[in-house]
């Protein structure tokens, strides 16, 4: 069946300005790290992407290595784009990244100009696109001069293959240095993509201040701590969950009794607000306007629907915020 986007797709979503740029991003974006690979069901991936778009999620986040196998999430997204979303390309913000291992030999990962630019060309082919909206350096490279990696990002924009550039997993200090180089090159840093959730708050110790000082936006990945900040692990590990699957980034051993104790208390708070724990965790990430977008993952359409509904209650009282600190600190 030919996909036709819902006429109501812009009614419920909020769009936040990305730093001091001209670009707005949806408060909730969809990432294709898990569940959109060659090992997953194409139809389920397509349903999640099109449903997300119908709910106002205009931003889809990819990377060269998403799959498995690496590259296959870009291929799946490219198929959905060609078949269903091509008429809406200008309503979408599509990102990809280069940094992690993609091919053998000395040019298949990290941050050399050689790797970064050839990886972007490969991504564009898999996606079936002439350009991506945001191109990221996926991780800092301790051996390549920062000038070289930033120069490659600048070149991606100048050659018309990306509209904006981003950094992911860079520390506050590395980010500040990169911002200065990019500014000099004339391609300002649009966005940083760090890990951030109720269970991992490292960006509050410096990175957020750097981003604010320089007018750079942020998109928080794993805002649900890969599913730990939902009700899914409260009574054991469901067979179809990420933690039960082989070789994913979430292992059973990470779901410790201490984490579960905190998650149960947070779940009680969420229930008192009439929210699912996932909604509560997303509202918290977005609470002060310091984060431009919460970058969720999903394994089924119903999770995306649940998560977008978080937007109907993003406010926290001072009392609630203090209670959260007590729970997390205990």
Is residue 78 part of the contact set for ligand NDP (CB under 6 A)?
A: no
> Which of the ranges 25-33, 46-54, 210-218, 284-292 carries the binding residues for ligand NDP, by CB under 6 A?
25-33
Q: Which of 223, 262, 267, 280 binds ligand NDP (CB under 6 A)?
A: 223
Number of other CB atoms surrounding residue 319 within 10 Å: 8
- The distance of closest approach from Cβ of residue 253 to ligand NDP in the complex, given in angstroms and rounded to an integer, is 16
Is residue 193 part of the contact set for ligand NDP (CB under 6 A)?
A: yes
Is residue 46 part of the contact set for ligand NDP (CB under 6 A)?
A: no
For residue 127, the cross-strand partners are none
Residue 163, H or E segment: strand 162-168
Instruction: Count CA within 13 A, CB hemisphere, residue 42.
Output: 11
Is residue 225 part of the contact set for ligand NDP (CB under 6 A)?
A: yes
**What is the DSSP-derived secondary structure letter of residue 214?**
T
- The distance of closest approach from Cβ of residue 264 to ligand NDP in the complex, given in angstroms and rounded to an integer, is 15
Q: CA-to-CA distance for 259 and 7, rounded, in angstroms?
A: 42
What mask, x for binding ligand NDP by CB under 6 A, covers residues 114 to 153?
A: ------------------------x---------------
Is residue 306 part of the contact set for ligand NDP (CB under 6 A)?
A: yes
Strands 28-31 and 93-98: unpaired
User: Residue 46 is encoded by which pair of tokens?
Assistant: 């397509």
Name the residue whose CB lies closest to ligand NDP. Answer: 297
Residue 311's contacts (CB-CB under 8 Å, 6 or more residues apart) are 12, 13, 14, 27, 28
Is residue 26 part of the contact set for ligand NDP (CB under 6 A)?
A: no
Is residue 64 part of the contact set for ligand NDP (CB under 6 A)?
A: no
Q: Are 64 and 95 in contact (CB under 8 A)?
A: no
Footprint on this chain of ligand NDP (rule: CB under 6 A)? 31-35, 61, 138, 168-169, 193, 221-227, 230, 232, 241-242, 278, 295-299, 303, 306-307
């Amino acid at each position: 069946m030919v996909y036709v986007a819902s006429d109501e797709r812009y009614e419920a979503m909020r769009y936040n300005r990305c730093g001091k740029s001209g670009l707005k991003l949806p408060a909730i974006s969809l990432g294709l790290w898990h569940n959109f690979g060659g090992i997953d069901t194409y139809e389920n991936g397509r349903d999640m992407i099109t449903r997300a778009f119908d709910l106002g999620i205009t931003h889809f986040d990819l990377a060269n290595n998403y799959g498995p196998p690496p590259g296959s999430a870009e291929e799946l997204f490219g198929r959905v784009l060609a078949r269903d979303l091509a008429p809406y390309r200008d309503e979408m913000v599509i990102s990809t990244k280069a940094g992690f291992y993609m091919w053998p030999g000395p040019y298949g990962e990290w941050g050399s100009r050689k790797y970064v630019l050839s990886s972007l060309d490969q991504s564009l082919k898999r996606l079936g696109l002439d350009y991506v909206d945001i191109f990221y350096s996926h991780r800092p490279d301790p051996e390549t001069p920062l000038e070289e990696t930033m120069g490659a990002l600048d070149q991606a924009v100048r050659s018309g293959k990306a509209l904006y550039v981003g950094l992911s997993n860079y520390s506050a200090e590395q980010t500040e240095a990169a911002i200065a180089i990019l500014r000099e090159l004339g391609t300002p840093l649009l966005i940083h993509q760090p890990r951030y959730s109720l269970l991992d708050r490292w960006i509050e110790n410096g990175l957020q201040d750097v981003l604010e000082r320089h007018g750079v936006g942020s998109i928080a990945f794993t805002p649900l701590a890969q599913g730990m900040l939902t009700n899914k692990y409260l009574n054991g590990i469901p067979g179809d969950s990420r933690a039960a699957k082989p070789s994913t980034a979430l292992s059973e051993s990470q779901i410790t009794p201490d984490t579960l104790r905190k998650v149960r208390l947070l779940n009680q708070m969420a229930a008192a607000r009439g929210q699912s724990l996932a909604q509560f965790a997303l509202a918290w990430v977005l609470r002060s306007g310091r984060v431009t977008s919460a970058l969720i993952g999903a394994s089924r359409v119903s999770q995306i629907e649940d998560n977008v509904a978080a937007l109907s209650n993003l406010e926290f009282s001072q009392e609630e915020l203090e209670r959260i600190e007590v729970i997390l600190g205990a």
